[in-house]
Amino acid sequence: MIEIRNDWTKEEIAAIYHSPLLDLIYRAGTIHRLNEDYAEVQISSLISIKTGGCSEDCSYCPQSARYQTGVQVHAMLSVDQVTNAAVIAKEGGASRLCMGAAWREVRDNRDFDRVIEMVKAVNELDMEVCATLGMLTESQAQKLADAGLYAYNHNIDTSEDDYKRIITTRTFDDRLQTIENVRKAKITVCSGGIIGLGETDNDRISMLRTLSNMAKHPESVPINALVAIKGTPLEDQKPVPIWDMVRMIATARIIMPKSVVRLSAGRNEMSMTDQALCFMAGANSIFAGDKLLTTPNPEFNEDMKMFEILGLKPREAFKKGRPANTEQKEIVSSII
């Protein structure tokens, strides 16, 4: 039986994180195998619906208007463009489409109205819909829920103590407030962080403690490795060793045993062997497709070959059920 805890101490998490690597992988893999269908891996596709020109100063992000990174600013995609991208992603094996917009926060305007239409359109393709749009109010989160949004991504990025070194244009508490607003709307939470920012092991442990001690664990926990982009303040950061990724994934799997742990940014630099270690340590989700917003990513065909070799299989959409709001609407519709 898998125990779910929301009261982890930093000392407990540190002991797990710093345990001998092979022991750590074995322990995490054992817990992962207690979950049903441990060989299933969720495939998500991430598209940028509005690129560049963001007012934030996130030190890692090439889409900030403050940095000269060569990223071209693009206007918001049309609903048809997003629908077509979703069809291609589904044909490639993806069960979830994630839509990202380079915004600091959502504003109640025509662009947000278009996002609502995008959510509805992708829902009609029987795909899970995720969005990452910046900060949300309670009412905005509810509008997305009513449209059928399945998940909302809002990473905490790093530890609370390290946060101000990475971002100054919004606070750590702002991040947590948006996650709370998403929870109130009964949308599933996708929240994780990035390693390779120049943080310490203690920062990584603190970040995992914040996530694991939420009243409800995030349903999806992305573990990103920094992709250092020329023109950003972190352009000279060295790539993180694969062992650091494995430690983070394994520790997340142990302390959040039922969450989907997503092998995210940085996967393009990993060999199949590297990725296999991550899956052994408990990763059970990837982004597929040739690009993650503005950075390269392995193509669908490459991933399908890897799945065949490793004996993995794609996870179907809505494995944990459909959004509560959607289910309620279906019930009302059937009564009428």
Nearest to 322 by CA among 140, 133, 187, 141: 187
Positive or negative, the CA dihedral 2, 6, 173, 67 is negative
Distance CA 241, CA 244 (A): 5
Assigned token pair, 27? 């322990």
What three-state secondary structure class fits 177? Answer: helix
Helix, strand and coil content of the chain, in percent to the nearest 5, comes to 40, 15, 40
Nearest to 298 by CA among 287, 283, 311: 287
Helix axes 242-255, 201-212, angle to 10 degrees: 30
Element (H, E) at 133: none
Active site positions, annotated: 54, 58, 61, 98, 130, 190, 262
List helix spans (H) across the chain: 10-17, 21-34, 79-91, 110-123, 138-147, 163-166, 172-184, 201-212, 242-255, 272-280, 300-310, 324-335
Q: Report DSSP state, residue 18.
A: T
Distance CA 251, CA 161 (A): 20
Q: How many CB atoms lie within 10 A of CB 27?
A: 18
Do 16 and 256 touch, CB atoms closer than 8 A? no
Distance CA 136, CA 311 (A): 39
